[in-house]
A and B are shown apart, each in its own frame.
Chain A
Amino acid sequence: MAKTTEVIEVRDVRKEYRNGAIKTDVLQGISLKVFEGDFLAIMGPSGSGKSTLMHIMGFLDRPTSGSCNFRGKHIDSLSDDELARIRNKKMGFVFQMFNLLARTSVLDNVRLPLFYSGLKGKEELELAKRAIELVGLTDRSHHLPNQLSGGEKQRVAIARAIVNNPEVIFADEPTGNLDSKSGQQIMDVLQKLNNQGHTIVLVTHEKYTAEMAKKMILIKDGKIVYNQKVDHRRFAKDGFEK
């Protein structure tokens, strides 16, 4: 393995949820590292805790115990607003449910993170246009989300995730709600972004989607049962088979 820099380090992370008297251990001591340029797939059946792990890595949630670092910054030493700032500048998120703002144009949806980054109007617009171009939706810039197909919506979500040129893109089941052709397009975009230098953390429960990453880990019942390089990496542009 080439000498690369560490972006995220997770060490012995535990997460428990309490619902009244019932305690659920979602994560039970997870440790892993993500390096610059990585394409990591987190696999596991539903309820395995893979999304929770991604949320902690993406500074969306805090662990019950253990540590999570992003570029040496410790999650426990940062306030909620500082976490928000790091998410805004260094991270991008793609969710299974797209989570686009209704009645808001593609352009304005993509610009949303920039609202919170303090950029000037002109720069903002340029960045948003470039991101939309990258996912190939320039002609849909002024459409509303309900005028788009599922695949297009997810491409808008990706454009929104990359508009601030983040170091890491987190994608939580990005193909989960899509037909295979749209899913293939999405994975193609993610692979391209990875080639351009973005580090990607992908959460999926499908093996063939995970095999498009460079590395994959398998989580069961809150523990890593499998962590290794993908042997026969698939490429989305070659076709997306079920």
Chain B
Amino acid sequence: MKLTDTFKTAIIGLKTNKTRSALTMLGIVIGIAAVITMNSIGAGAQNLILSRVASMGSNNIFIEPGPWSKRMEKGSMMQSMVEEANITSLKREDAIAIANHPLIEMAAPFTMGVGRIVYLDVDKKSSYSGITPDGQKINENNVILGRDINEDEVKSMAKVVVLGFTLKEDLFGEEDPIGKIIRIQKTNFRVIGVMEEQGVQMFQNMDTYAFIPITTTQKLLLGTDHVKWIIAKAWDEDRIDEIVSDLRLLLRERHSIYNPSGDLAKDDFKIMTQKETADILTSVTGVLTMFLSSVAGIALVVGGIGIMNIMLVSVNERTREIGLRKAVGARKKDILNQFLMEAVTLTFLGGVIGILLGLTFSYLGGVILGNMLDLKWSAPLSLDSILLSAGVAIVIGLVFGIYPARKAAELSPIEALRYE
């Protein structure tokens, strides 16, 4: 029997029970759509995170307070960030010492805080960041209005502020903010500049921040002398590993830590490069994607069992037809092919619809997540995953169709013809 005839026969067989075929297909449709959507959202999250990490710059080194914990390796960033909130081990002087390393171009400390910011009748709870001019350079932050904070203002703990783009809009609207006085936690600050719009960096929307000389934040707003983190920029990214071990020794000496074995858990700081950060985050999103996809995969298997179930019913119902076909000359192979073709056609059609649905959901999911989190979402729709899904659909048809098809093929013509 020719392939086209087999296909035609399969189509007729499926058309005979349209509702049933459609319902059976639904299992596959949902399974494939779920796999594609989960994969795409996982890939989108991964892209997003990796692009953020890449935007940190590949020769940047991150120094955070607190010892390296096992949890860090598992990637529980949030938890370790909470734990670190009160660790005071990292100081502004550490950044100055790091900057003196011959292979370091510059190093900048940062602080973070949240407080009420008031201008006239606008009263906003907002985040602020204590910065230095070098910090702005490392983060590639530029002002579009007025000017940036300078070294003198850092030294003199000047009460000046540069506003993030969104924060400026919120406080001043269309009004020119330069030279105006705003209150941050009951202290008056003079606005000297506005940052250009930059979206999300380091998982924070920096456009909503106020930027203040770091010394001012420490003395007037936070009342502490430690810093949240230090970013050092190396001259040569090829020598990053060498620099990292140098910096470890330097900080141990400065913090009087006796740690000849180099056990990172004994340190009161941790140093990460862009690559390490990317690795941790990739493994986190990878696990997440795998988890989501395997849940979707289970849906697909359930769909496959649905196919097998319906094909078995169909073989039973069509026993007389099978008998007749055998009587007029169909070989086992012909019957096997016919029923396999029906199963594969079902799953393939289901796969195609599932792919279309999956692509739609991926797109909508990206738009919704992007809007919700105010992120630029990019989940590339890879041809690979589409082809893979179509392949998986066909394989499911073959795997779950083979048993009913064999059952049909093994029927003896007489038993089949006699079947009531």
Contacts and interface: CB of A to CB of B under 8 A. Distances in A.
- B is a partner of A: yes
A63 interface: no
A116 B414 contact: no
A127 to B, nearest CB: 13
B225 interface: no
Contact of A88 (B5, B323, B328, B332): B328
A61 B415 CA distance: 9
Contacts of B417: 60, 95, 99
Contacts of A208: none
A164 B329 CA distance: 11
B329 A88 contact: yes
B328 A87 contact: yes
A61 B412 contact: yes
Given A87-B327, A93-B327, A104 B12 contact: yes
A111 to B, nearest CB: 9
A120 to B, nearest CB: 10
B404 to A, nearest CB: 19
A60 to B, nearest CB: 5
B329 A87 contact: yes
Name, among B323, B328, B332, B333, the residue most crowded by chain A CB atoms within 10 Å (CB to CB): B328
Interface residues of B, number: 25
A102 B16 CA distance: 9
Contacts of B15: 103
Interface string A143-162: 00000000000000000100
A84 B414 contact: no
B1 interface: yes
Contact of B334 (A60, A97, A116): A116
Nearest to B414: A61
Interface in B313-355: 320-321, 323-334
A170 to B, nearest CB: 9
Contacts of B303: none
B295 to A, nearest CB: 40
Q: Which of A55, A103, A115, A160 has the most CB of B within 10 A?
A: A115
Interface string A117-151: 11000000000000000000000000000000000
Contacts of B9: 115
B328 A80 contact: no
A116 B329 contact: yes
Nearest to A112: B328
Nearest to B324: A99
Contact of A113 (B321, B328, B331, B414): B328
A115 B1 contact: yes
Nearest to A86: B329
Given A60-B413, A61-B412, A115-B5, A103 B12 contact: yes
Nearest to A157: B324
Contacts of A55: 414
A88 B321 CA distance: 16
Q: Which 4 A-B pairs rank lowest in CB-CB distance, beginning with the nearest?
A: A88-B329, A113-B328, A116-B329, A81-B331
Interface of B: 1-2, 5, 9, 12, 15-16, 320-321, 323-334, 412-414, 417
18 contacts: A60-B413, A60-B417, A80-B331, A84-B330, A87-B328, A93-B328, A95-B324, A112-B328, A113-B329, A115-B2, A115-B5, A115-B9, A116-B1, A116-B325, A116-B328, A116-B329, A116-B330, A118-B2
